[in-house]
Amino acid sequence: MFDDTLHFLANHLESPDWARLGEHLPYEWVEQAVLSTEAASIRHRRLPAEQVVWLMVALALYRHKSISEVLDDLGLAVPDSQTPFVSKSAAAQARQRVGQAPLKWLFERSARHWVAQDKKAYLFKGLQLFAMDGTTLRTHDTVENREHFGAQSYASDTVASYPQVRGVTVTSLPTHLVHSAVFGPYSTNEMLYAKQLLGTIPNESLTVFDRGFLSAEILCGLTGSGAERHFIIPSKSNTKWEAIEGESEDMLVRMRVSPQARAKCPELPEFWEARAITVVDAQARKRILLTSLRDRRRYKPSDIALCYDKRWGIETSYRELKQTMLGTALTLRSKTVDGVYQEIWGTLIAYNLIRLEIAKAALAVKCEPTEVSFIRAFHLIQFELHWAGVTRSYGKLPASMKHLRERLVSLLNDERPGRKCDRAVKATPKRYAVRKVKKLP
């Protein structure tokens, strides 16, 4: 029975059909994701597991459309002359059957492969550049979501109106491709999520952290395992150390590990060392950066400061994902816990597909991927996929993708000469206008 099902899928779902949603996601990966997580469909369905995986990726690309519209516009369902359209209930049931596991497997497989593809073109003195940071996403306010994810609590004993998902990601700084991610309940501290991601960071790499991750357990766990895994992180105002050697602007320091940290993790040493560099930003503010890059000749303070300045690029990635792709939606689509996780993994795959196309286009014209507009790339990919779904011209996909990359960089030099990406802290935009009430005399 199972062999017959695979034979049916192979005959009816040819590889060019899968390629419409991205030439970088081989059908074999999707098939393996389904088989390895035991989510394959035994019955002949209009929405087998493989198609549901594609549906979740497509839903992230077309956040403004309903599930039914995405299914119809892209032709994701297996053709059936008797029932040309798939009902909403059938799509919901298909998502429940598949669950989140295949999407998570596919993200992890594709992300590592895509980040490693062109790493030689984006090395910093032989090291891959990454950044780690956290973010949150809001979900529908259902009993199940609130019990599982929880919500932010305030000092006034009030709780946020919507449950929230907390997550931490490791992102490639040159290309903004998400390398690895972990998501879960809001009540779980970011440090616990960060520890889960340490093992995913590759050797010969440099990871830039926000000061919130300043912890001996995190940083020693990174450098103590693997080969040539380094960090850069700003010190806190209350960070204490003892100078070992060097000058005040560039010195080697030793810090004591707290007894509480050693009680939780007995493997930690009593002391740990780092290089402390004092840098001055554009606003003439001094900042001390701690790093494991001790070779002063190879890694100059200006180089280290430049690497840290790129860290905020991960925050623009969150903006692209949450505001551009999700359309600043108040909540995610899904109303169940498993559906939320499934949607997040599908969104991350879709985001990486866009970022990968940008990286390929940038390599073709020898510019930085960050110089290519994400919004422009996102709209072009939406158009190309919709065109492929309407025309069903699968054989024209290579030429279409080539044309897409040419359009991505066609106005690069004219529209963005000498573009600068200095960080600017802006006020959070309000969803609703605030009415000002005059006080009575």
Among 22, 13, 33, 10, CA closest to 345: 33
| DSSP-assigned beta bridge partners for residue 205 | 128, 229
Q: How confident is the model at residue 395 (pLDDT cuts 50, 70, 90)?
A: very low
Q: How confident is the model at residue 1 (pLDDT cuts 50, 70, 90)?
A: very low
Residue 261 has pLDDT above 90, yes or no: no
Mean pLDDT score, 163-168? 96
pLDDT of residue 274: 94
How many domains, the chain?
1
The sheet with strand 178-185 has its strands ordered as: 178-185, 164-172, 128-138, 205-209, 229-234, 286-291, 271-280, 250-256, 242-247
Tokens of 25: 């996601």
Which is higher by pLDDT, 13 or 370? 370
pLDDT tens-place string over residues 48-72: 888 888 889 999 999 988 888 888 8
pTM for the structure as a whole: 0.84
Give domain status of residue 1, yes or no. no
**At what angle are helices 397-408 and 337-365 packed, to 10 degrees?**
70
Which is higher by pLDDT, 225 or 336? 336
Give domain status of residue 221, yes or no. yes
Least confident of 159-173, 339-353, 372-386, 422-436: 422-436
pLDDT of residue 361: 86
Give domain status of residue 271, yes or no. yes
pLDDT of residue 75: 75
**Alpha carbon distance 178, 313 (integer Å):** 12
Determine what percent of the chain is predicted with pLDDT higher than 70. 78
DSSP H helices in 75-149: 88-98, 101-117, 143-149
Least confident of 199-208, 221-230, 265-274, 375-384: 375-384
Residue 434 has pLDDT above 60, yes or no: no
How much is the mean pLDDT over the chain?
A: 82
Q: How confident is the model at residue 215 (pLDDT cuts 50, 70, 90)?
A: very high
Residue 397 has pLDDT above 80, yes or no: no
Q: How confident is the model at residue 107 (pLDDT cuts 50, 70, 90)?
A: very high
Q: How confident is the model at residue 441 (pLDDT cuts 50, 70, 90)?
A: low
Mean pLDDT score, 198-206? 95
pLDDT tens-place string over residues 72-103: 877 777 666 556 667 778 888 889 989 999 99
Residue 305 has pLDDT above 60, yes or no: yes
pLDDT of residue 384: 74
pLDDT of residue 247: 87
Least confident of 11-20, 154-163, 262-271, 342-351: 11-20
Give domain status of residue 254, yes or no. yes
Give domain status of residue 296, yes or no. yes
pLDDT of residue 111: 95
Q: How confident is the model at residue 266 (pLDDT cuts 50, 70, 90)?
A: confident
**Alpha carbon distance 152, 159 (integer Å):** 6
Give domain status of residue 166, yes or no. no
pLDDT of residue 112: 94
pLDDT of residue 37: 77
Which is higher by pLDDT, 298 or 5? 298
User: What residues have CB less than 8 Å from 270, skipping those under 6 apart?
Assistant: 256, 257, 262
Give domain status of residue 258, yes or no. yes
Domain around 226: 211-300
Give domain status of residue 103, yes or no. no
pLDDT of residue 413: 47
**Alpha carbon distance 224, 226 (integer Å):** 7
Residue 358 has pLDDT above 70, yes or no: yes
Determine what percent of the chain is predicted with pLDDT higher than 90. 45
**Between vectors from CA 93 to CA 90 and to CA 98, what angle results, nearest 5°?**
125
**Alpha carbon distance 401, 393 (integer Å):** 13
